[in-house]
Structure 1
Amino acid sequence: MLFSFRTVARLLILLLSPVLLACENNTVEPAYYGALEGVVLDGGNNNVPLANVVITTSPATTSFTTNNQGKFSLPNLVVGKYTLSVRKTDYKTESVNVQVDEGRVTPVTVILEKASGTNRRPNAPSEPSPANGATDQPVRLTLKWRVTDPDKNDSLRSSVILYESNSFDQQQVLNNSRDTAVTVDLKYNKQYIWQVTVYDKAGEMVRGDVWRFQTSALPENRYLYVRNMGGNTDIYSSDNIGGNLIRLTTSAFVETAPQLSPTRDRVAYTSNATGRYQLYTMNRDGSDQRQISPGMIPVEGYGNYGIGYHWSPDGSQLVYASYDKLWRINRDGTGLLQIATAPVGRNFRECDWALQGNRIIVQTVGANIYEAEFYTMSADGSNQVKVVDNLPGRLDSPSFSIIGDRILYSRDVDGYENANGRQLNAHIFSQKLDGSGLVDLSPTSMGSVNQGKPAGTNDLFPRYSPDGSKVIFVNMNNDNLAPPEIWIMDVDGKNRAKLFANATLPDWQ
């Protein structure tokens, strides 16, 4: 059978149609290119060609500079509309709209007019403070510099970038400002690099030299505590007079109960950032904050809002209370192990872990916070012994002495009990583990030796000092309205002295 050419063509189209349709969604529109070539002339000087004129485009491609004949060339431009910005010192900046067409070179001629008056570029910024190469700088530092301009009445503005020497993350700490100083918050023991760019009112700019400085070493602050500022609860460290104050946490959530590890390299604390109080650690400067407790096992329970935990004596683990379970966990968040279960109807709460005998003391409470008892146990949860039974009034904060032969705690001697857990007259007590040798460290009056606990206040959260010669604690009004204060006293309750105002839950290492 013979077919005409037209018939064969129709058959081929029918056969190829499915293939063509299958490929239809994968087509890619090709890019088309053209080019620009131009010249820039001096309109006030008989159209003499201008060299070193800067040409930039929008949409952005790259920048070009005219040669000695005032010419420029922009090859391989995607077809479309562009705006050219043509700029040279002492001349008015011109904007030119052009159309780039496929396969052809579009010619452009630009005439620049002299700016009114002769503007000169600003001088480079000078006289940096701190001086270039300075060391031992504070972490809250005011950067200063001097700006000048050959045009005496010119208005100058500055922008400043700052970054750590080992980082490429620049901070724009000042932007197009008349100021010649800016205050920045920095990190300890870091080298910083900063650079100032100066602009005049005509838009001319000059970048200054790159300057460097080094911040001071992290201070060996021995005190950690919690402070509420403007409704925000955060963790701070300082020396014994509140100097070298460092704010370690800055979130909008509650960070509380800080404890420095026995190895002095990490700070443990708790936070409710996840909606429940979890256990975290961080570096002593507040960096590298890490959650180590699993989300479903928080540091919570009856009256336990993130305060029920403690470091092991060697700093490798922590023990913490979560409702009726007591857990042990490695400092990196691994090795979670339940070591004890509270009596029926009770939860674990505050605890301590002593080096001597490798023992733990822990508080258990009922649904009523006043139903409190203290138990000692081995580090694996065995050998549980009740050392303080339920007493009238609220009973809190058990901790060991340095050699583990005595314990500290607080108790409301007025025996007051109400549903909100309020205390009227909490004293600090010391006793031996067998209950003997009971000493009240908070008598209301102690004669002429630095008066004892003021009436109408509570002494709370006691801990021994690192050398065992002092007790650090919190004193606050029993109406819970005035800010708490951190105090110290001798182990017999004498020589009370205030350390920090508006501070609570202290740790002293």
Structure 2
Amino acid sequence: MKHKNNKILTIFLMVFILWACEEDTIGQGELGTITGKVVLEGENTPLENVKVTTNPVTNTVFTDVDGNYTLAEVEVGEYSVQADLDGYKTAFEAAKVVADKTVNAVIEMQNENVDNKVPEVPRLLFPADGAKSIQSPVQFSWSSSKNDDDETLYTLELRNGLTNEIETFTKLTDTILSVDYLDIGANYFWQVTVSDGINDEVSSELSGFSTLNPVDNRFLYVRNLDGNNVIFSGMPLAENAQENTNEVRLTDIGQNSFRPKKNPKNDRIAFLRTVGAETHVFSMDAKGTDLVQITSAQPILGFRPEELEYCWTSNGEHIYYPQFNKLYRIKSDGTGNTLVYAAPATEFISEVAVNPVNSFIALKTNDQFGYAAKLYVIDPADGSQKHMVQEGLPGAIGGIDYAADGNRVLFTYDVSANENDAYRQLDARIFEFELATSARREILTKKPAGYNDLDVKYAPDDGAVIYISTSNDGVSKKDIYITGYNEIDQRTKYFIDGIMIEWH
């Protein structure tokens, strides 16, 4: 029995040894190698430092500078070789490992944004290419480039064709941009570029336009913007229009500039500007450039700066301006300031007008409250009084001007005779005084009850008068009207929201 058991044990050991030897031989023969390269799809550019793994899991390796990788000692079988790299889509390639063989698996990867849409090319809408007489501020507009969920940011580049200066507006999220302070009468070129932060930037076509040239505008006037008076030039309202025609801003919104006066001999425009606590006389060209400060040591002073008037001499070489009770004459370049006339100390000179025929000067004086007003004419050569137009009446006088023939003086007078601390006028009307006969007449303008006609001026041909019309409440909007001599008791609105009108 013992012999039989030993025989069985011996047979069992021999079978076990044979099985073990066979398993070792098969295992060594079932290992293979996977090699390959990882490249950018469509370009075959090698990708470095790509993480390469398999499924089922074997080894993890990274590609070298040439995009090559090697997975060694991989058991035979079918695998999915996986490639991962930040900024790219995960890619897969099938590989069948054969014992003692090397299989090659080239993996092509795509940029993770390969399916992202390129933004559409912006179409420039306004100003249209070749547009002329565009008024500032300009509201640029263009079509949207958005065609997916990506954030789109626009850049507008604006080049001045005269100076070649380039202004760039970046990180715009809207397709509308308002730009102010464009040069007057200049050519501009503009282009919009869009970026979604993923694809290459896309640019619109280049477009050009020109801004309004104010040289042909026949009127100067003032509007209040953001608390400052601003000077504009323009043309009369078109029929049924709701905006002023050809309106061009000539002075900065950030500075208080008012009371424009056209030089009778050239295109220079004088005006008043607040400088610190003082008011000074400046001049500029018809485009609002080439500024010259005329007064410096002796500013214009008197009752309320906005009520003060000054004027050019008939030859356009000098300016007359008041300083309390004194009248000065200064050259247009700021030199040669001379005292011309002095009224009594308690009489402030507020308004000045020069006779275009004989250079006599019409003066309006008043007390420190604007009343006790006088309107008279002097000879600046000796200071003698030539005519008394009006004195001794209660109420406010203003808006003096000479007719082209030199024989008539235009002014306004508040016939209500009301006097108050606010200098509020209740019924200001337009009057004309004939120097030769001392006759005074009212110019009828069909003025509504409760309104004032103020700041009146003759037309250059004396065929009409132009003036400010406003409610006597002292706070309502002021508009500019004209009445022709052949249209007595009629009025036509010329400008909306304007004061201090001047023929250009």
**Partner secondary structure for residue 375 of structure 1:** strand
> What pairs up with 1:73-472 in 2 under 5 angstroms?
92=87, 115-118=111-114, 122=118, 125=121, 127-129=123-125, 134-136=130-132, 138-140=134-136, 141-144=138-141, 156-167=152-163, 169-173=165-169, 175-185=170-180, 186-202=182-198, 204-205=200-201, 211-218=207-214, 220-229=216-225, 231-241=227-237, 242-263=244-265, 265-294=267-296, 296-305=297-306, 307-380=308-381, 382-393=383-394, 394-434=396-436, 436-442=438-444, 452-472=446-466
> What pairs up with 1:476-495 in 2 under 5 angstroms?
476-491=470-485, 493-495=488-490
Deviations 1:244-292 (A, max 9, x none): 1222233344322122222452222212242222112223233334322
- Percent of residue pairs bearing the same amino acid type: 26
How far apart are residue 164 of structure 1 and its match?
Answer: 0.8
Between the aligned partners of 2:124 and 2:470, the Cα distance in structure 1 is 47
Question: 1:58 is matched with which residue?
Answer: none
1:261 touches 1:267 (CA, 8 Å); kept in 2?
yes
Q: Given residue 302 of structure 1, which amino acid in structure 2 is its aligned partner? A: F
Between the aligned partners of 1:161 and 1:233, the Cα distance in structure 2 is 31
Between the aligned partners of 1:452 and 1:128, the Cα distance in structure 2 is 48
Between the aligned partners of 1:298 and 1:120, the Cα distance in structure 2 is 66
Between the aligned partners of 2:314 and 2:164, the Cα distance in structure 1 is 40
Between the aligned partners of 1:167 and 1:41, the Cα distance in structure 2 is 48
Between the aligned partners of 2:439 and 2:198, the Cα distance in structure 1 is 83
Question: 1:503 is matched with which residue?
Answer: 498
Describe the shift of the 1:207–1:252 C-alpha distance in structure 2 as closer, same or farther (beyond 3 A).
closer
Between the aligned partners of 2:438 and 2:198, the Cα distance in structure 1 is 85
How far apart are residue 301 of structure 1 and its match?
Answer: 0.9
Describe the shift of the 1:159–1:381 C-alpha distance in structure 2 as closer, same or farther (beyond 3 A).
farther
Mean CA deviation greater in 480-489 or 40-49: 40-49
Deviations 1:376-434 (A, max 9, x none): 23454644434224231223332211110111112222332334433332222112225
2:320 touches 2:327 (CA, 8 Å); kept in 1?
yes
Between the aligned partners of 1:119 and 1:507, the Cα distance in structure 2 is 64
1:144 touches 1:182 (CA, 8 Å); kept in 2?
yes
Between the aligned partners of 1:376 and 1:476, the Cα distance in structure 2 is 29
**Partner secondary structure for residue 214 of structure 2:** coil
Describe the shift of the 1:381–1:267 C-alpha distance in structure 2 as closer, same or farther (beyond 3 A).
farther
Consecutive unaligned residues of structure 1, counting only runs of 5 or more, are 1-39, 51-89, 94-112, 443-450
Describe the shift of the 1:165–1:398 C-alpha distance in structure 2 as closer, same or farther (beyond 3 A).
closer
Deviations 1:143-180 (A, max 9, x none): 4556869x97765432122121243543223x233444
Mean CA deviation greater in 363-372 or 399-408: 363-372
Q: Given residue 248 of structure 2, which amino acid in structure 1 is its aligned partner? A: I
> What pairs up with 1:34-45 in 2 under 5 angstroms?
42-44=48-50
Between the aligned partners of 1:476 and 1:290, the Cα distance in structure 2 is 33
Describe the shift of the 1:343–1:152 C-alpha distance in structure 2 as closer, same or farther (beyond 3 A).
closer
TM-score, length basis structure 1: 0.69
Between the aligned partners of 2:204 and 2:245, the Cα distance in structure 1 is 36
1:293 touches 1:333 (CA, 8 Å); kept in 2?
yes
1:159 touches 1:196 (CA, 8 Å); kept in 2?
yes
1:256 touches 1:306 (CA, 8 Å); kept in 2?
no
2:414 touches 2:425 (CA, 8 Å); kept in 1?
yes
Q: Given residue 415 of structure 1, which amino acid in structure 2 is its aligned partner? A: A
Between the aligned partners of 1:397 and 1:131, the Cα distance in structure 2 is 40
Q: Given residue 195 of structure 1, which amino acid in structure 2 is its aligned partner? A: Q
How far apart are residue 320 of structure 1 and its match?
Answer: 0.7
2:122 touches 2:203 (CA, 8 Å); kept in 1?
no
1:392 touches 1:413 (CA, 8 Å); kept in 2?
no
TM-score, length basis structure 2: 0.69
1:299 touches 1:306 (CA, 8 Å); kept in 2?
no
Between the aligned partners of 2:458 and 2:128, the Cα distance in structure 1 is 46
1:398 touches 1:409 (CA, 8 Å); kept in 2?
yes
**Partner secondary structure for residue 481 of structure 1:** coil
How far apart are residue 207 of structure 1 and its match?
Answer: 5.5
2:133 touches 2:213 (CA, 8 Å); kept in 1?
no
How far apart are residue 508 of structure 1 and its match?
Answer: 2.0
Consecutive unaligned residues of structure 2, counting only runs of 5 or more, are 1-45, 51-61, 68-84, 89-108, 238-243
Mean CA deviation greater in 491-500 or 422-431: 491-500
Instruction: Kindly tell me the number of residue pairs found equivalent between the two proteins.
Output: 401
Question: 2:3 is matched with which residue?
Answer: none
2:356 touches 2:402 (CA, 8 Å); kept in 1?
no
How far apart are residue 119 of structure 1 and its match?
Answer: 6.8
Describe the shift of the 1:486–1:128 C-alpha distance in structure 2 as closer, same or farther (beyond 3 A).
closer
Deviations 1:415-470 (A, max 9, x none): 3233443333222211222552221124xxxxxxxx73222332222211111011
2:123 touches 2:204 (CA, 8 Å); kept in 1?
no
Describe the shift of the 1:371–1:212 C-alpha distance in structure 2 as closer, same or farther (beyond 3 A).
same
Describe the shift of the 1:390–1:138 C-alpha distance in structure 2 as closer, same or farther (beyond 3 A).
same
Structure whose alpha-carbon radius of gyration is higher: 2
Between the aligned partners of 2:245 and 2:183, the Cα distance in structure 1 is 17
1:352 touches 1:399 (CA, 8 Å); kept in 2?
yes
How far apart are residue 122 of structure 1 and its match?
Answer: 4.5
Describe the shift of the 1:348–1:146 C-alpha distance in structure 2 as closer, same or farther (beyond 3 A).
closer
Q: Given residue 471 of structure 2, which amino acid in structure 1 is its aligned partner? A: N
Describe the shift of the 1:122–1:146 C-alpha distance in structure 2 as closer, same or farther (beyond 3 A).
farther
Q: Given residue 214 of structure 1, which amino acid in structure 2 is its aligned partner? A: S
How far apart are residue 317 of structure 1 and its match?
Answer: 2.1
Between the aligned partners of 1:208 and 1:483, the Cα distance in structure 2 is 43
Between the aligned partners of 1:91 and 1:131, the Cα distance in structure 2 is 44
Between the aligned partners of 1:463 and 1:209, the Cα distance in structure 2 is 49
Q: Given residue 298 of structure 2, which amino acid in structure 1 is its aligned partner? A: I
How far apart are residue 126 of structure 1 and its match?
Answer: 5.9
